[in-house]
Amino acid sequence: MPFPSETRSRLEVDAKEIIARYPRPRSAVMSLLHLVQSEEGYVSSDGIEFCAEQLDLTSAQVFAIATFYTMFKQRPVGEYHVGVCTNTLCAVLGGDAIFAALCEHLGLEHGETTEDGAITLEHIECNAACDYAPVIMVNWEFFDNQTPESATHLVDELRAGKSPLPTRGAPLCTFKQVGRMLAGFPDFRPEAVAAGGGGPATLAGLCLAKAHRNRIGATAPGPSTSAEPDSATATPSSHDAPAKTAKSDPATPIKRRS
């Protein structure tokens, strides 16, 4: 059934604010889908019709987008959406075992919700956190370096009404609250504003690269008099590749054909 008049009026105010951020109204479709998902915990047919009306689109156009992106759910999601990454790296490091353990522990399959409405369990694709694999995301906040044991403890805490802190990022909030943030309304909780981002594992490659360049700089010969710049001191290309492999890495000389 359509949104109650009070709910619709409130959503229309939010929708106008969102649409005003874009040069073309239809560009706001994904933000509006997050908005209606924040209201019901999923994208209902009424939510799709609401978005279509606000953007002067057909319901079919909005439905096509809502069903293409997996972050938009077609049935109600629990208070906590628990996503276990089962993409390549997380899988080989234990993601599949974690997902299997949670399925057995919760009595759920992919996409199902516990009877108390607390947990919806899904296996999800890569969330760009391979440096902390295997990873679980709860309402899109990271819980890194998980095991079957830590994962079952995590969902037990969630079902008990506790709010375990993510490994990094903002403290947890409900799935509906996250939807409103994804629609474009900031999270002004002080603890969220102060939350950090990546950690040492994320920066390890950058640190190694800088240390490598510093070693090269310390052993490189004096300024080159040739027309070509010395690859050890030249600005990296758009592909971040050295101009002369032999000069930048003496252990891997260029092989020339005779």
Position 235 pLDDT exceeds 50: no
DSSP state of 79: S
- Decide which of 2.60.120, 1.10.10, 3.30.70, 3.30.43 is the CATH code for 5-68: 1.10.10
Q: Is the confidence at residue 240, as pLDDT, over 90?
A: no
**Dist CA 167 CA 132 (whole Å):** 10
pLDDT tens for residues 85-131? 999 999 999 999 999 999 999 999 999 999 999 999 999 988 888 88
Least confident window among 65-79, 124-138, 227-241 = 227-241
Give the whole-angstrom CA distance, residue 198 versus residue 106.
Answer: 30
**232 pLDDT above the threshold of 50:** no
Mean pLDDT of the chain: 85
Report whether pLDDT(4) > 80. Answer: yes
User: Please, are residues 166 and 132 in contact by the beta-carbon 8 Å criterion?
Assistant: no
For the chain, give every residue range classified as CATH 3.40.30.10: 80-193
pLDDT at res. 28: 97
Tell me if residue 1 falls in helix, strand or coil.
coil
The dihedral built from the CA positions of residue 182, 150, 129 and 108, taken in this order, carries a sign that is: negative
Integer Cα distance of 25 and 53 in angstroms: 11
Specify the pTM: 0.75
Average pLDDT of span 227-247: 47
Under CATH, which architecture does the 80-193 domain have? 3-Layer(aba) Sandwich (3.40)
Distance CA 139, CA 162 (A): 14
Q: Is-contact 189 181, C-beta < 8 A?
A: no
**Which residue spans of the chain are classified as CATH 1.10.10?**
5-68
Q: Which residues of 107-123 are buried (b: 16+ CB within 10 A; e: fewer)?
A: ebeeeebbeeebbbbbb
For residues 183 and 72, the answer to whether their CB atoms sit within 8 Å is no
How many other CB atoms are there within 10 angstroms of residue 18's CB atom?
19
- How far is Cα 95 from Cα 102, in angstroms, rounded to an integer? 11
Please choose, from the candidates 10, 52, 66, the residue with its C-alpha nearest in 3D space to the C-alpha of residue 180. Answer: 10
